[in-house]
């Protein structure tokens, strides 16, 4: 089964970046051209016939899969970056996530009002980072088509939080913790 092959390439690292957190490392998945192609093809097949203007990738692994998918689909790509990484005029949202808090930023000219946006990242945990990206897109007038992830960590409730805000979530694999 393809999902099992993908799951087997996700390395679980206990107590990183802090005690009690189980980090889901996708570098083995990306390193293997077969599994990387599998995840990109799954995303492509899901979104190829959906009206999307732009893909927003969340810092930093969302840049890898979001950029690759934007290229495959012939769409533009906009990075949602951690504070202090964007050089031009930007908007910011401060948020909490699984083990800390942070600020996410996007260029003011990254999205035009009315554009249909796909938000993408490697994993969904508590949903804090994705909700920050949603808020940034909405501030710029973008319409969110869906939020997509390789991994959904079901036990942390991020999918429910995003659904509660009225947005759909797609993930390739689901993990319990």
User: Among all residues, which ones are annotated catalytic?
Assistant: 61, 98
140: Cβ contacts below 8 Å, ≥ 6 apart: 91, 106, 108, 110, 111, 112, 113
124: Cβ contacts below 8 Å, ≥ 6 apart: 130, 147, 149, 151, 152, 153, 156, 158, 159, 162, 169, 171
Find the largest Cα–Cα distance for the chain. 46
| Contact call for residues 6 and 26 (beta carbons, < 8 A) | no
The structure tokens listed for 24 are: 């889901």
Q: 95 forms bridges with which residues in the sheet?
A: 102
Distance CA(62)–CA(60), nearest Å, equals 5
User: Which spans in 9-74 are helix H?
Assistant: 27-31, 33-47, 61-73
CB atoms within 10 A of CB 139: 14
3-class SS of residue 50 = coil
């Amino acid at each position: 089964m393809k999902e099992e092959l993908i799951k087997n390439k996700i390395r679980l690292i206990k107590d990183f970046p802090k005690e009690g957190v189980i980090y889901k490392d996708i570098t083995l998945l990306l390193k293997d051209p077969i599994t990387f192609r599998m995840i990109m093809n799954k995303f492509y097949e899901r979104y190829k016939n959906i009206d999307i203007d732009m893909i927003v990738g969340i810092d930093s692994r969302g840049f890898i899969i979001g950029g690759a998918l934007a290229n495959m689909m012939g769409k533009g790509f906009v990075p949602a970056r951690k504070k202090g990484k964007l050089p031009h005029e930007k908007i910011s949202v401060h948020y909490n996530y699984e083990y800390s808090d942070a600020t996410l930023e996007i260029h003011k000219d990254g999205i035009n009002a009315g554009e249909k946006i796909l938000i993408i990242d490697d994993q969904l945990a508590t949903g804090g980072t994705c909700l920050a990206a949603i808020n940034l897109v909405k501030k710029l007038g973008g319409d969110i088509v869906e939020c997509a992830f390789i991994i959904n960590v079901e036990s942390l409730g991020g999918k429910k939080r995003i659904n509660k805000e009225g947005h759909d979530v797609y993930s390739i694999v689901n993990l319990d913790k």
